[in-house]
Amino acid sequence: MQLKHLFLVLMILAAIVSCNKDDDGPVILPHEEQLAIDIEIIEDYLAEEGLTAEETASGLHYIIHEDGTGTHPTATSRVEVKYKGYLPDKSVFDETAPAETIKFELNRVIPGWTEGIQLMKAGGGMATLLIPSYLGYGPYPPSSAIPPNSVLIFDVTLLSYE
């Protein structure tokens, strides 16, 4: 086992043992510890899949597969997209139907989408967003299909925005 992985495992175990936890609630680690765990999960996923991603200052990782023909939306744009959301184990938790799209205000979704979709161009821009848990749903996901503190992965096509 690499020293980096051993250190991460020891850090996780120490955090779990020392962390306060409600009997009914998820484990809540300090931000820096959870982010380090999430980044390790993202980097392992990328290595296993043979992918290379760009990383933003927030820890969001992204891969632009196709540039769109338009311009970049802003944080307050209303966007139209197609997407598939899944976990690093590749279990899908949400997606648009093949013939459907979804429209929403970019500032009304998880922070990872607000940040990541602004990096894309409308007109068919395609990207994969690898989102640390704090930019997703953190310890309180909206459904049982997403465990607490999950890294989220989205394949997104940005069709248009207004």
Confidence of residue 1 (pLDDT cuts 50, 70, 90): very low
For residue 64, what are the β-bridge partners? Answer: 127
Q: Kindly report the average pLDDT of the chain as a whole number.
A: 90
**CA of 39: how far to CAs of 26, 73, 74, 80, 130, in Å?**
19, 26, 26, 28, 9
Percent of the chain's residues with pLDDT above 90: 83
Predicted confidence (pLDDT) per residue in 24-76, tens digit: 678 899 999 999 999 999 999 999 999 999 999 999 999 999 999 999 999 99
Looking at residue 37, its pLDDT comes to: 98
Q: Both ends of the chain: CA-CA distance in Å?
A: 50
All residues at 6 or more sequence positions from 14 whose CB lies less than 8 Å from its CB, including other chains: none
Predicted confidence (pLDDT) per residue in 40-51, tens digit: 999 999 999 999
3-12, 93-102, 139-148, range with the lowest pLDDT:
3-12
Mean pLDDT of 8-22: 47
Distance CA 112, CA 118 (A): 10
| Buried/exposed 54-84: b ≥16 CB within 10 Å, e otherwise | eeeeebbbbbeeeebebeebeeebebbbbbe
Task: Report yes or no: 153 and 87 within 8 Å, Cβ to Cβ.
Answer: yes
Q: Is the pTM of this model over 0.75?
A: yes
Task: Read off the tokens for 114.
Answer: 């607000």
Structural domains of the chain, ranges and CATH numbers in brackets: 3-161 (3.10.50.40)
Looking at residue 24, its pLDDT comes to: 66
Instruction: Using the structure block, give the residue that is written with the tokens 């994969």.
Output: 128
Confidence of residue 13 (pLDDT cuts 50, 70, 90): very low
Output the furthest CA–CA distance in the chain (Å, rounded): 51
Q: What angle do CA 62, 68, 72 make, to 5 degrees?
A: 70
Pairwise pLDDT comparison (3 vs 45), residue with the higher score: 45
